[in-house]
């Protein structure tokens, strides 16, 4: 049986940048066992003063857009410029088996061997937004371990990407050119959240299509309301295979960071994200409390049957549940 690390060992290992300890710590925060959740909470409190210095980047896009290929090329570029990079990749879980392939390390083979890069795949579970339940906490652990840049790669299945936006500083949307009617193929809400939109695979015969897509998307973005960041979203092209446009994407991210730090949005955005995290944790704890309540158990089962049969609305059942929870 493997020896369980103490809180002190976990904390000191993370702050020393130990990859094995970091992986164990992320496994701990992802656990749903009550004893693990208690220790995970204590660990996060211990490392919190050592977080906040990394740049957090969210990357999304439809399946097949080449997220892994782009991240590998982008990651190798960053590490060649003396950056330490952590990539948190989310694989979609089956809603039937709750299993996940977790194949991102094989899709980013050269980056996974890079000494200045750390790749951690997680399953999305039932969480919306293409992120795992504890992605935010995993990012904080990586920051405490000394990584300069944290990339969160989302599932990109068309679910609400708001969850990602609420935990990163910069949101990058990858798109394909020539894959049908581009402007109909992506939800307006995701485009509105993007700080930079990148047309991928802009090489060979796709170059002309990519240039046309840039013009179409640039026009579309001008129809949206100006964002709170005061930043004008850019549309760019890149070819991860030919390493073209990668440096330009990074330059745009640096410009965004400089711009939003000067106008105060960067810090204010992080404050709002911390508040969101508070209510996410509260809702999680509240649901746990309700589910573990023996006194509420029979009532919940009865209400579930009424909602299932259509004899009571879900809203009324929820009100009854809350009313009885207050009494307890």
Nearest by Cα to 200 from 156, 245, 158, 155: 245
Low-confidence ranges of the chain (pLDDT < 50): 93-104, 125-132, 160, 180-185
Question: Which residue, chain included where needed, has tokens 């936006």?
Answer: 165
Cα–Cα distance measured from residue 150 to residue 51, given in angstroms and rounded to the nearest whole number: 12
Query: For the chain, how many structural domains are there in total?
Result: 3
**What's the confidence (pLDDT) of residue 128?**
42
Residues 13 and 40 in one domain: yes
Residues 50 and 13 sit within 8 Å (Cβ to Cβ): no
Q: How many CA atoms lie within 13 A of 25 on its CB side?
A: 31
Residues 207 and 301 in one domain: no
**What's the confidence (pLDDT) of residue 157?**
52
Residues 33 and 125 in one domain: no
Residues 263 and 226 sit within 8 Å (Cβ to Cβ): no
**What's the confidence (pLDDT) of residue 91?**
63
Cα–Cα distance measured from residue 122 to residue 132, given in angstroms and rounded to the nearest whole number: 7
Is 152 a member of any domain?
Answer: yes
Rounded to the nearest angstrom, the gap between the alpha carbon of residue 131 and the centroid of all alpha carbons in its chain is 5
Residues 164 and 208 in one domain: yes
CATH number at residue 209: 3.40.50.300
Q: Give every CB contact of residue 253 below 8 A, 6+ residues apart in sequence.
A: 55, 57, 170, 172, 195, 196
Residues 99 and 126 in one domain: yes
Residues 235 and 126 in one domain: yes
CATH number at residue 25: 1.20.5.170
Backbone region of residue 249 per phi and psi (left: phi > 0; alpha: psi in -120 to 50; beta: other values): alpha
Is 269 a member of any domain?
Answer: no
Q: Is the pTM of this model over 0.75?
A: yes
Backbone region of residue 98 per phi and psi (left: phi > 0; alpha: psi in -120 to 50; beta: other values): left
Is 78 a member of any domain?
Answer: yes
Which residues face 284 on adjacent strands? none
**What's the confidence (pLDDT) of residue 131?**
44
Residues 259 and 221 in one domain: yes
Residues 204 and 298 in one domain: no
Question: What are 33-53's pLDDT values in tens digits?
Answer: 888 989 999 999 999 999 999
Residues 144 and 230 in one domain: yes
Q: State the residue range of the domain holding 210.
A: 52-263
Nearest by Cα to 171 from 188, 155, 157, 151: 151
Cα–Cα distance measured from residue 181 to residue 188, given in angstroms and rounded to the nearest whole number: 14
Question: What are 81-124's pLDDT values in tens digits?
Answer: 999 999 998 765 433 334 344 444 556 888 989 999 999 987 55
């Amino acid at each position: 049986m493997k020896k369980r690390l103490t809180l002190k060992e976990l904390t000191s290992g993370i702050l020393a940048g130990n990859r094995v300890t970091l992986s164990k710590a992320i496994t701990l925060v992802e656990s749903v066992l009550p004893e693990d959740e208690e220790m995970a909470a204590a660990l996060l409190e211990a490392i919190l003063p050592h977080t906040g210095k990394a740049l957090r980047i969210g990357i999304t896009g439809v399946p097949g857009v080449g997220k892994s290929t782009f991240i590998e090329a982008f990651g190798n570029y960053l590490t060649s410029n003396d950056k330490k990079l952590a990539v948190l990749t989310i694989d979609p879980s089956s809603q039937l088996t709750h299993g996940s392939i977790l194949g991102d390390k094989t899709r980013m083979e050269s980056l996974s061997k890079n000494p200045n890069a750390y790749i951690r795949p997680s399953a999305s579970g039932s969480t919306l937004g293409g992120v795992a339940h504890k992605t935010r906490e995993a990012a904080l652990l990586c920051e405490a371990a000394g990584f300069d840049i944290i990339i969160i790669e989302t599932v990109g299945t068309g679910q609400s990407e708001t969850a990602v936006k609420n935990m990163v500083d910069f949101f990058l949307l990858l798109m394909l050119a020539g894959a049908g009617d581009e402007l109909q193929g992506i939800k307006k809400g995701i485009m509105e959240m993007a700080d930079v939109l990148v047309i991928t695979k802009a090489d060979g015969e796709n170059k002309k299509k990519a240039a046309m897509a840039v013009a179409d998307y640039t026009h579309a973005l001008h129809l949206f309301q100006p964002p709170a960041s005061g930043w004008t979203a850019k549309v760019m092209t890149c070819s991860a295979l030919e390493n073209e446009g990668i440096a330009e994407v990074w330059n745009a991210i640096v410009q965004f960071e400089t711009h939003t730090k000067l106008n105060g949005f960067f810090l204010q955005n992080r404050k709002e994200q911390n508040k969101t995290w508070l209510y996410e944790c509260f809702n999680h704890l509240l649901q746990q409390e309700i589910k573990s309540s023996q006194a509420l158990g029979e009532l919940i089962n009865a209400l579930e049957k009424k909602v299932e049969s259509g004899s009571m609305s879900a809203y009324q059942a929820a009100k009854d549940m809350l009313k009885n929870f207050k009494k307890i």
